[in-house]
């Protein structure tokens, strides 16, 4: 999505949405991409797609009438629905492979019941504006390329380390999606050839070890009888927080779990370097924030051992939790610009 956007603060607004397994974050931005107001609501994935889409619609509508600009504009908006801000486009990052052309969520393993959901079509009907949907890691990569640590970098890889593992790949300044839109889906990467014929769950080999879910599973085994685990507690089965907390408290078992996970992450990144030879690798997500210095040092040591001087810089996301939101805002701005240009040519 490399397109120059003409700035015109009076023409309307766009909304970027970060749809996660436990939350929906919506941000309203002006035509310069400046976020003027946003909203986050917790969701229950087990409630199914209909309720979650309804919550998303409610959040977007609330942003269109919420205050946030200045006294004069805010006063005018209180006049009722007729004074709502003009919405030009909507873009959403979702934890799933996406059929972007038809607005279909193919399969979201963190959202029960989300298989072939025509969310784009529903939102277009509700708001009568163009809607763009993209895989969440790809959307975060767009955000990093636009306003993050990868700004101006033509070839880079964004690796999202959260409950699962997602990856966005930029080649020659453009997002690379591949034949079926699944380029960069590293979660199924296998780095032990002897295990090529084994069955893994919905995740895959790589994600089974380096994701938050994988680290939590290894941590439960390693810290089963550890006072560190008892002191911290495991609030959620899928949350690796207790492993990082035990590591900070000096637990050798927790440190060993993280060293193994980060070493495997390093081998995976070395494979990525061998195939793509990127200028930069960027890490984001909750796992990347758990022990960032340890993670970067371990991954760099492994990649440098394999590639030597060919090791690219390794960086943490400069946008943090907002990378996906900024990617969605950027995507919505491009979509709005394209729609306006198309209308002017009609």
Taking Cα atoms as reference points, which of 81, 103, 80, 78 lies closest to residue 90? 103
**36-68: per-residue pLDDT in tens?**
999 998 888 778 888 889 999 999 999 998 665
The pLDDT value recorded for residue 115 is 82
Q: CATH assignment of 13-141+322-345?
A: 3.30.420.40
pLDDT digits (tens, 9 = 90+) for 230-274: 444 434 445 788 999 999 999 999 999 999 999 999 999 999 999
Report which of residues 345 and 305 the model is more confident about.
Answer: 305
Question: Which class for 100: exposed (0-12), middle (13-18), buried (19 or more C-beta within 10 A)?
Answer: middle
- Residues, the chain, total? 346
Higher local confidence (pLDDT), 83 or 59: 59
Ranked by mean pLDDT, the top range of 74-78, 216-220, 223-227, 279-283 is 279-283
pTM of the predicted protein model = 0.86
Mean pLDDT of 7-14: 68
Closest CA to 133 of 113, 153, 119, 145: 119
Query: What stretches of the chain adopt beta strand conformation (E)?
Result: 13-19, 23-29, 35-42, 87-94, 98-99, 104-107, 115-117, 131-135, 156-161, 165-171, 174-175, 280-284, 314-316
Residue 92 reports pLDDT greater than 60: yes
Domain ranges of the chain: 13-141+322-345, 150-318
Summarised one tens digit per residue, pLDDT across range 192-202 is: 878 888 887 76
pLDDT at residue number 107: 73
* Topology alike, domains 13-141+322-345 and 150-318: yes
pLDDT for position 294: 98
Looking at domain 150-318, its CATH class is: alpha beta
**327 touches 134 (CB < 8 A):** yes
Count CB atoms within 10 A of the CB of residue 294.
15
**254-286: buried (b, 16+ CB within 10 Å) or exposed (e) per residue?**
bbebbebbbbbbbbbbbbbbeebebebbbbbbb
Q: With bands split at pLDDT 50, 70 and 90, how would you rate the model's confidence at 341? A: confident
Query: Beta partners for 131?
Result: 90
């Amino acid at each position: 999505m490399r397109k120059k956007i003409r700035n015109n603060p009076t023409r309307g607004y766009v909304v970027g949405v970060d749809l996660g397994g436990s939350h929906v974050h919506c941000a309203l931005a002006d035509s310069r991409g400046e976020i003027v107001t946003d909203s986050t609501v917790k969701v229950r994935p087990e409630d199914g797609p209909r309720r979650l889409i309804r919550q998303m619609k409610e959040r977007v509508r609330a942003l269109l009438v919420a205050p946030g600009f200045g006294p004069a504009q805010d006063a005018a908006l209180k006049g009722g629905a007729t004074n709502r801000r003009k919405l030009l486009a909507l873009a959403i990052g979702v934890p799933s492979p996406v059929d972007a052309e038809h607005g279909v969520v193919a399969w979201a393993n963190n959202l029960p019941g989300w298989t072939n959901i025509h969310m784009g079509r529903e939102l277009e009907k509700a708001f009568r504006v163009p809607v763009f949907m993209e895989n969440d890691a790809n959307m975060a990569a767009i955000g990093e390329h636009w306003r993050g640590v990868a700004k101006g970098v033509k070839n880079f890889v964004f690796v999202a380390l959260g409950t699962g593992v997602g990856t966005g790949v930029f080649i020659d300044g453009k997002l690379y999606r591949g034949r079926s839109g699944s380029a960069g889906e590293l979660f199924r990467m296998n780095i032990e050839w002897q295990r090529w014929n084994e069955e893994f769950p919905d995740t895959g080999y790589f994600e089974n070890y380096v994701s938050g879910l994988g680290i939590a599973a290894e941590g439960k085994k390693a810290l089963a009888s550890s006072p560190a685990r008892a002191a911290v507690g495991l609030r959620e089965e899928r949350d690796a927080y207790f492993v990082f907390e035990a590591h900070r408290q000096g637990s050798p078992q927790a440190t060993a779990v993280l060293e193994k996970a980060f070493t495997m992450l390093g081998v995976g990144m070395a494979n990525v370097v061998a195939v793509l030879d990127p200028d930069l690798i960027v890490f984001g997500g909750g796992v990347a924030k758990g022990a960032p210095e340890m993670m970067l040092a371990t991954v760099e040591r492994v990649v440098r051992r394999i590639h030597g001087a060919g090791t690219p810089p390794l960086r943490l996301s400069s946008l943090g939790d907002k990378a996906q939101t900024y990617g969605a805002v950027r995507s919505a701005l491009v979509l709005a610009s394209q729609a306006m240009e198309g209308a002017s040519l009609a």
